[in-house]
Amino acid sequence: MLHVLIYSYDLAQQEYKPSHPFKPVRARLMAELLNRYGLISEENQRIIAPSLMDEELLYLFHTREYIELLKKAEEGEFTVEMLNAGLGTQDNPVFRAMYRYALATSSGTHEGAMMLYQGIARFVFNPFGGFHHAGKDHAEGFCYINDIAVAIADLIRKDQRVAYIDIDAHHGNGVQDAFYETDKVLSISLHESGETLYPGTGSEAEIGSKEGVGYNVNIPLRAGTDDELYLFVFQSLVPPLIQNFKPDIVVANIGCDIHRDDPLANLSLTSNGYRSVISMINDLCPKILALGSGGYNLHRTAALWALAWAEFCGLQPQDLHAGLVGGMMYGPETGAGQLDDPPYVVEGWEKEQCTVHAQRVIDSIKGNIFPLHGILR
């Protein structure tokens, strides 16, 4: 089956506003790296520009009133209702083609989900997707349309068992809200604790309600958590839960703001830890939909996505440009164009505090959630 990259040069050229930290151009930088490292020329690989989906699919999660506000805002109208819906704020500015951009990126996620459902692809990556903060009736945290909630809702409607794994540094509050009361989706989020990072949610005590009790798993981590500790927590909790749930499809939000160089979060992972986590996710299910989500160091994000693509496709990067020319090829940034970065280990008091915090979270989930699924500690 195919390995599919959802990509559009036009989408990569879009911009919220010049000073905004969310930059779709990350996807173009990644595409350049895939070519440079010989990662996009296999016979089973395809690059597909998303086709716009039926707008009615948005209403599987969003309210019709909110989508109409998005359209009017894009056309230059402004009302108090729009501001109340999170539009026109510093995080979610109104810009030209705003609704069309959000619809197109969401269409890529939905198209990828359908390719997996129909058995056309084994793995699909939409670097433009992953807007996990958007609510049913409001924009939030750089997110206008919750492509994840829409795609998963349609998969559920088609009787698919879906597991959602979110490794973005920020808790995906919008996706949590979408499936908090259902056992049709197993949602697992590893993120920096809401005590130190937006959106302030995602405590391990938030385990779902009604039929969803035990199907919403939050794994908040202390600021400063490094590769070693992150991988220990992931291995301790995620594989047992996924293997017990037996999903048809895993949707993975693989945000790169967990990297220690990211300016908007405080975790301390390197490319080594990120790649190891991607490898573990890849082993959890035959069908995987990966979404780009966060990542605000542009070149580091592009490099990590390239590593993730290589891992999901079972390829080893080879620098096809090495030794051909002198100088830097991808801008003046230090290390630009390089995929890996050196190992980094947190030590001393900070490591001790991170370890204590992580062990408390592991004990809480193993004590309160594992028994609900019949998983032995």
Active site positions, annotated: 133
Tracing tokens 């539009």 back to the chain, one arrives at 87
Q: Are 26 and 305 in contact (CB under 8 A)?
A: yes
Q: Are 310 and 36 in contact (CB under 8 A)?
A: no
DSSP letters spanning 121-185: EEEEEETT---TT-BTTB-BTTBSS-HHHHHHHHHHHTT--EEEEE-SSS--HHHHHHHTT-SSE
Q: Is 198 exposed, middle or buried, given 0-12, 13-18 or 19+ CB atoms closer than 10 A? A: middle
Closest CA to 86 of 77, 76, 73, 75: 73
Q: Residues with Cβ < 8 Å from 322, sequence gap 6 or more?
A: none
DSSP 325: S
Q: Are 29 and 304 in contact (CB under 8 A)?
A: no
CB neighbours of residue 50 within 10 Å = 22
User: Distance between CA 161 and CA 341 in Å, rounded?
Assistant: 36
C-alpha separations of 232 from 3, 171, 242, 280, 365 in Å: 29, 19, 16, 12, 14
Q: Give the H or E element holding residue 351.
A: helix 348-368
Closest CA to 251 of 291, 284, 218: 291
Q: Is 118 exposed, middle or buried, given 0-12, 13-18 or 19+ CB atoms closer than 10 A? A: exposed
